[in-house]
Structure formats: C-alpha cells, structure tokens
A and B are shown apart, each in its own frame.
Chain A
C-alpha cells in the first residue's frame, strides 16, 4: 500500500470497525434467537465501537489528513483503498437486494394473481362461463388492479371470496401492495414523496461533497455549507422513515400484513431498505456534528464521498423497489 500525501505519521488503523462488526454479529444472533440479553450486549458493543471509531476521528490534529491509502494490487491498483472497499461492500448489498427482487419476481410471475387467475378463467370457461378466458382475465384484473366482485360475476362464482380472503378475513397470499397503493392516489402519495425525498437527498450529499472539496471557500462558509447540506439530507431521510412507517401502518390496517406470502416479500424488502436508510442517518448525524465543529476540508472530504456511495446505493435500491413493489 502507498500514500498519496505521505508525512511522518504512521497510519493509525482503527480497531473500532471490527468491534462494531462483532457487536452487530451478537445483536443479529440474539435477534434470531430471541435472546434479549444478547441483543442488549450486541447493541452495547456496536454503539461502543461506533463511538470509539468516531472519537478516533475527532482530534483534527492533522493526523487524519495524512491522505488516503492507495492499493497497488490488481484489480484496484492506484485506487484509494477505502473507495475500493466501499464498492466491494456495495457488491454484497447488490446480492442482498438481488435476492429480494428475485424472490419477489418469482412470486409475481408464478403464483400471483395473474397466472393463477388465467387458470381460473380457463376453468370458468370450461364450466360454462360466458366469454373466453382472456376476456374474463381482463375483467378480473382491470388496469393491473384486482376487481374482486367483477371477477366473481365473470367466473360464475368460481373465483369467490375464499380466493381473495382467508377465513380469518385477511387477504390471501396473492394480493400485493400495489393493489392497495395505486388504487388511491393519496395512498400512493407517501411512496412518491419518498422517491422524491431520496433523490433530493442524494443531490444534497453531492452538494455537501462539492462544498467540502472546494478550496476557494472560506473555512467558515465551507463548514456551514457542508453542515447545511448534510442536515437537509438527514431531514429528507427522516421524512422517508416517517412516511414509510405511516405507509406500513395504513397497509396493515387495510389487511395487507406480513403474514401473507406477498406481504412477507413486501415488508422484508422495504423493511431491509428502511434499515439501510436508518443506518445511513446514524452515520450522517456524526458527519453533521463534524461539519459543525469545522472538521471537513478538501484533505478529508473523501469520507463524504464514500458515505455518498452508500447513500446513493440506498437511493438506487429505492428507485427499483418503488416501481416494482408499489406501482406494478
């Protein structure tokens, strides 16, 4: 490894991330086992690791401005090590969300209303229902939305209430969130606002990075700009979380719960994305504090860039989740 702004300071690699990772491991293991004690210990170690990590960053005595480590091996030769590391991390994130999308696509293409109803429509035609299977299918799903009563009539009762709801009254597994969301614009509105909020927050992170790297700005002006842009990002992310919880509350009250197959895909995927947003908000809170005390300049602004890569990926995931889970 080499340095781009080498000085006499040796590089002080931090042990804090491995501690935070260990705490995360204990927390998740405790969560899976339902062990409250282990959850508490894991969270405590995680928080300790994060505080130690940030405390090590705070002195601003110049040691943190020694420059970025650069790798020299294939394939990342000449690239900042931390930058390559973030991209490697994002590779794993792609796989995580890829599995969510794969499972969701499996459900939508295979077991969900469209294929199932095509089969039901054919059965209805064979049983004497008027029209052909395609027209019955179009009646059941008008503009992509389920029309239960029309479907009941068109299939001579073959697709009856038990197909749509369980005995307990909750929707059967093949209802998807989009049926509840796009049916009413005011239900779709939180999701649309969230999309705008995340895209805008990605832009404000870019603006914060530009301000931090701008050597022509007065230090106080630079600090204020970076702090303000990051604060707007934090606010927009908080709006996202708040609207997400509002949406979930609304959908659950409508009967679209995690106990259904489609619901489990929806809530796990959007929940995982929400956790990623929340983690991003935790980190940006520290960045805002650091900007407030004048900790950023062009020498160490790369940290904002690397955070930005994570935040833009979160935005990217939402750009794909929103049309797939809310609009389609």
Chain B
C-alpha cells in the first residue's frame, strides 16, 4: 500500500506531499481530457487512432499497476491477471483482424448457421 512509501514512491511523497495514488489519479484525469480532445482535433484518422490506443495503454497501466497494487504486490498476481490476455490476443488475431470473407470461407463443420446472411460488401 502507498502508505508504506518505499523507494521512488517515498521520494515522490517526500517531494510533493502526495502519494502515488493521488498522482496516478491526476494523470488518469489528464489523459482522459487528452483522449476526448483528440477526437475533436483536426488530425488524421491514424493520428486519432494512435492517440486513443496510446492513452488507453497509459490509463490501463496506471489503474492496474497502482490502483490495483500490481506494482507492489507479488508477481504471481500480475501473471494471473496477464494470463487470460494471451487468449484474448489469440481471439483478436485469429478472429477480429481476419479478412471479412473469413466467415464464409470457414469449413462447414465450423460455420455458424447464419453463413451467407452477411457479406463483406454490405446489405
């Protein structure tokens, strides 16, 4: 917990008077403002996507590492939390990012019953 204040967290508390949880909260709020602002700025589609993904990663780390105490807790808990993301990554790579024709090109035993109802060219 933050009140133990060891290492860099102690240095941060000594210098600012606020613990890591407070600064983590402030950073999360700041990045949320950046994230919302990014979609209203006249930047390219790719830049917007990069901004959203980057901010998402930063906020994810902030919440998981400090609010959920993974930074200070046993590594086994981090591995436990990270383990299902392996399957999520497989889900994304194997299903989410495949060609839309992947659905209609599946073998018959793997095809959902709605095959042929959707196509990549729209309704």
Interface, chain A (partner B; CB < 8 A): 75-76, 78-79, 83-84, 87-88, 90-92, 94-95, 98-99, 101-103, 105-106, 109-111, 115-116, 119-120, 143-144, 162-163, 166, 172-174, 182, 185, 188, 192, 195-196, 199-200, 202-203, 206-207, 209-210, 213-214, 261, 305, 308-309, 312-313, 315-316, 319-320, 322-324, 327-328
* Chain B, Cβ-Cβ closest to A195: B32
Within B40-92, the residues touching A (CB, 8 Å) are 40, 42, 45, 48-49, 52-53, 55-56, 59-60, 63-64, 67-69, 74, 76-77, 79-81, 83-85, 87-88, 91-92
Which residue of the partner chain, among A76, A95, A206, contacts B67 with CB atoms under 8 Å?
A: A206
Measured in the bound complex, the distance between the Cα atoms of B35 and A111 in whole Å is: 26
Q: Is the CB of B1 within 8 A of A102?
A: no
Which residue of the partner chain, among B21, B32, B64, B77, contacts A203 with CB atoms under 8 Å?
A: B21
Task: From A120, A203, A213, name the one whose CB has the most chain B CB atoms within 10 angstroms.
Answer: A203
Q: Is the CB of B52 within 8 A of A88?
A: no
Which residues of B lie under 8 Å from residue A87 when comparing CB positions? 77, 80-81
Q: Is the CB of A105 within 8 A of B120?
A: no
Measured in the bound complex, the distance between the Cα atoms of B97 and A101 in whole Å is: 12
Q: Is the CB of B96 within 8 A of A106?
A: yes
User: Is B105 part of the contact surface with A, judged by Cβ < 8 Å?
Assistant: no
Which residue of the partner chain, among A105, A144, A207, contacts B48 with CB atoms under 8 Å?
A: A144
Which residues of B lie under 8 Å from residue A144 when comparing CB positions? 39, 45, 48
Which residues of B lie under 8 Å from residue A209 when comparing CB positions? 1
Say whether chain B's binding surface is mostly helix, strand, loop, or mixed: helix
Assess A163 versus B123: contact at CB under 8 Å? Given A76-B76, A79-B76, A91-B80.
Answer: yes
Measured in the bound complex, the distance between the Cα atoms of B52 and A251 in whole Å is: 22
Assess A116 versus B91: contact at CB under 8 Å? Given A88-B80, A320-B60, A327-B36.
Answer: no
Task: From A75, A106, A313, name the one whose CB has the most chain B CB atoms within 10 angstroms.
Answer: A106
Measured in the bound complex, the distance between the Cα atoms of B69 and A239 in whole Å is: 26
The 5 closest A-B pairs by CB, nearest first: A98-B88, A110-B100, A105-B96, A102-B91, A94-B84
Q: Is the CB of A98 within 8 A of B87?
A: yes
Which residues of B lie under 8 Å from residue A206 when comparing CB positions? 2, 21, 67
Nearest-neighbour CB distance to chain B for A135, whole angstroms, equals 14
Measured in the bound complex, the distance between the Cα atoms of B50 and A256 in whole Å is: 27
Which residues of A lie under 8 Å from residue B32 when comparing CB positions? 192, 195-196, 199
Q: Is the CB of A316 within 8 A of B39?
A: no
Which residues of B lie under 8 Å from residue A98 when comparing CB positions? 84-85, 87-88, 91
Measured in the bound complex, the distance between the Cα atoms of B28 and A75 in whole Å is: 32
With A95-B87, A110-B120, A120-B121 already in contact, 6 other A-B pairs whose C-beta atoms are closer than 8 Å: A75-B80, A98-B87, A144-B45, A172-B122, A315-B63, A316-B68
Measured in the bound complex, the distance between the Cα atoms of B79 and A75 in whole Å is: 10
Which residue of the partner chain, among B42, B87, B121, contacts A116 with CB atoms under 8 Å?
A: B121
Nearest-neighbour CB distance to chain A for B7, whole angstroms, equals 18
Measured in the bound complex, the distance between the Cα atoms of B93 and A102 in whole Å is: 9
Assess A323 versus B97: contact at CB under 8 Å? Given A203-B25, A206-B67.
Answer: no
* Chain B, Cβ-Cβ closest to A305: B69
Which residues of A lie under 8 Å from residue B123 when comparing CB positions? 162-163, 166, 172-173
Q: Is the CB of B42 within 8 A of A143?
A: yes
Which residue of the partner chain, among A90, A166, A192, contacts B81 with CB atoms under 8 Å?
A: A90
Which residue of the partner chain, among A95, A116, A200, contacts B122 with CB atoms under 8 Å?
A: A116
Which residues of A lie under 8 Å from residue B83 when comparing CB positions? 91
Which residues of A lie under 8 Å from residue B79 when comparing CB positions? 75
User: Is B106 part of the contact surface with A, judged by Cβ < 8 Å?
Assistant: no
Which residue of the partner chain, among B36, B81, B121, B122, contacts A91 with CB atoms under 8 Å?
A: B81
Task: From A78, A116, A319, name the one whose CB has the most chain B CB atoms within 10 angstroms.
Answer: A319
Q: Is the CB of B35 within 8 A of A327?
A: yes
Q: Would you give the 0/1 interface string for B90-121, flagging 1 where the beta carbon is closer than 8 Å to chain A?
A: 01100111111010000000000000001011
